[in-house]
Amino acid sequence: MITAKDFGADFLWGASISAPQNEGAALEDGRGLSVWDVFSRRVAAIRGGAKPTVASDFYHRYKDDLLLAKALGFSSFRFSISWSRILPAGTGKINQAGIKFYHAVIDECLLLGLTPVVTLYHWDLPQALQKEGGWANHHILKWFARYVKICVQEFSPKVQHWIIINEPFAFTSLGYMTGFHAPGKMSIQSFYLAAHHTALCTAEAARIIRQINSNAIIGSSFSFSETHPHRNQPADLRAADKADLLLNRFFLEPALGMGFPMMDGFPVIEKFHLFNRSWRFQEAMKCDLDFVGFQNYFPVTVRHNPLIPYLGTSEVSAKSRKVPHTLLGWEINAPSCYRMLRRVADYPGVKKIIITEGGCAEKESLLPGKVADPLRINYFQQYLQAVLQAKKEGVAIDGYFVWTLTDNFEWAYGFTARFGLVRVDFDTQLRTIKDSGYWFRNFLGGTGDR
């Protein structure tokens, strides 16, 4: 049985949360509305009608939650800053109560010996900016730059580790093209613009952080999913290539100075390049990243489907293929995670990798005095073994952050998808450490599952 010691003494072990999913206090202390506050008001937008207004109440319970992270053996804590708590209108006057709150969180982390790892943008755009078009408005470049500058000036040098943007493909595609996530837009044009501006903002933020704090350790988090064709036929093989371009290459390659990837005969991408053909944009999107944040939950199997607009591709579910999967139907496949780690590491310009999220949702068993979640324990055992294999083979992996510390508001799934090592009763806010939490405590303490 492997333990944390096998990864080396300097390996970062962390637990993760995000502001829109955990903080709550949506209407307190001068915070402005975010796109998720407004999107959750739509009928049937969120499973069960859930809203992030209270979530897991980290805003009021951060000391208790940080103590839990410490008690489970973690050495780092990843959290995000709510843009609308710092700048309620997205621009303009700074909310000093928001500044004070994040100073308190950071100070508590340092008091407990937890390295704070701060994500600047985890999908909660101020609603006031969305009214102006949000990420599809080119003014987002100056809006985001000012927000980043305020945060880095305020919280450096107490914070050295910065993650610029969390999973850019997810929030631009789900939020601006499919409408499945906030702000709920369904426009290919909006997606083009949002993606273009996001890539430029990521690079500009990296420059701003470096200018303010020359000792900063800067990264941005990207989602990766190995893609497979459903059948070994030309149409499905091409569908897998399309999915790979979007899921794995679309934002990473611009950040590495390679520009947006291209595919002949893929109209979505050919048209997108009208925005990004010039050398000037390719240079402007290049980031000086100290690490790539790697987030891999599942591989995808796809088939050609001419009925799907723009993409001509659809996923073949893990359940229908009768392979192991989580509560949300996400395939469990640790060897796929290993292969993606090797692939990302092979890119020129990737200095190091930090796995900034990893975890799974399952249907847990509530027993007297405990929460049994054997699938989650098995998941971590498999995936951490895959990470260790890649590390032993020379992949520069510097850390692993569990998603997530406590159950939270899981986007469109509301409170129905639980990823936490700690269970939250959303009626009472009672915390209960799950079996997976105790497993991690043993793992990080060097005792395995004994």
Q: Which CATH number characterizes residue 253's domain?
A: 3.20.20.80
How wide is the angle at C-alpha 65 spanned by C-alphas 64 and 70, nearest 5°?
A: 95
Inside any domain, residue 104: yes
Inside any domain, residue 193: yes
Inside any domain, residue 106: yes
Active site residue 357: yes
How wide is the angle at C-alpha 261 spanned by C-alphas 260 and 263, nearest 5°?
A: 140
Distance, CA of 240 to CA of 227 (rounded, Å): 6
Q: What is the DSSP letter of 290?
A: S
Which is nearest to 23 in space by CA: 55, 49, 50, 71? 55
Inside any domain, residue 346: yes
pLDDT at 274: 62
Close Cβ partners of 366 (under 8 Å, ≥ 6 residues apart): none
Amino acid identity of residue 277, one-letter, is R
Helix axes 140-155 and 188-212, enclosed angle (nearest 10): 30
Which is nearest to 21 in space by CA: 364, 434, 436, 411? 411
pLDDT at 310: 85
Inside any domain, residue 185: yes
Distance, CA of 163 to CA of 42 (rounded, Å): 30
| Gap between the terminal Cα atoms of the chain | 9
Cross-strand pairs, 353: 292, 397
Site of tokens 């903002």: 201
Domain of residue 210, residue span: 4-444
Buried b vs exposed e over 180-200: b needs ≥16 C-beta within 10 Å? ebbbbbeeeebbbbbbbbbbb
Distance, CA of 180 to CA of 200 (rounded, Å): 24
Inside any domain, residue 186: yes
List 108, 154, 167, 204, catalytic entry: 167
Inside any domain, residue 450: no
Structural domain tally of the chain? Answer: 1
Question: Do the strands 217-223 and 161-166 form a parallel or antiparallel pair, or are they unpaired?
Answer: parallel
Active site residue 253: no
Q: Would you give per-residue pLDDT tens digits along the chain (450 residues)?
A: 899 999 999 999 999 999 999 999 999 999 999 999 999 999 999 999 999 999 999 999 999 999 999 999 999 999 999 999 999 999 999 999 999 999 999 999 999 999 999 999 999 999 999 999 999 999 999 999 999 999 999 999 999 999 999 999 999 999 999 999 999 999 999 999 999 999 999 999 999 999 999 999 999 999 999 999 999 999 999 999 999 999 999 999 999 999 899 898 887 787 777 656 555 688 999 999 999 999 999 999 999 999 998 899 999 999 999 999 999 999 999 999 999 999 999 999 999 999 999 999 999 999 998 999 999 999 999 999 999 999 999 999 999 999 999 999 999 999 999 999 999 999 999 999 999 999 999 999 977 553
pLDDT at 275: 59
pLDDT at 267: 79
Inside any domain, residue 449: no
The SS3 of residue 322 is coil
Distance, CA of 221 to CA of 162 (rounded, Å): 10
List 23, 357, 362, 364, catalytic entry: 357
Close Cβ partners of 14 (under 8 Å, ≥ 6 residues apart): 74, 75, 76, 77, 78, 115, 117, 399, 400, 401, 402
- Model pTM score: 0.97
375 within 8 A of 365, measured Cβ to Cβ? no
The two three-digit tokens of residue 215, written as one number: 């000792």
pLDDT at 338: 98
Buried b vs exposed e over 379-414: b needs ≥16 C-beta within 10 Å? bbbbbbbbbbbbbeeebebbbbbbbbbbbbbbbbbb
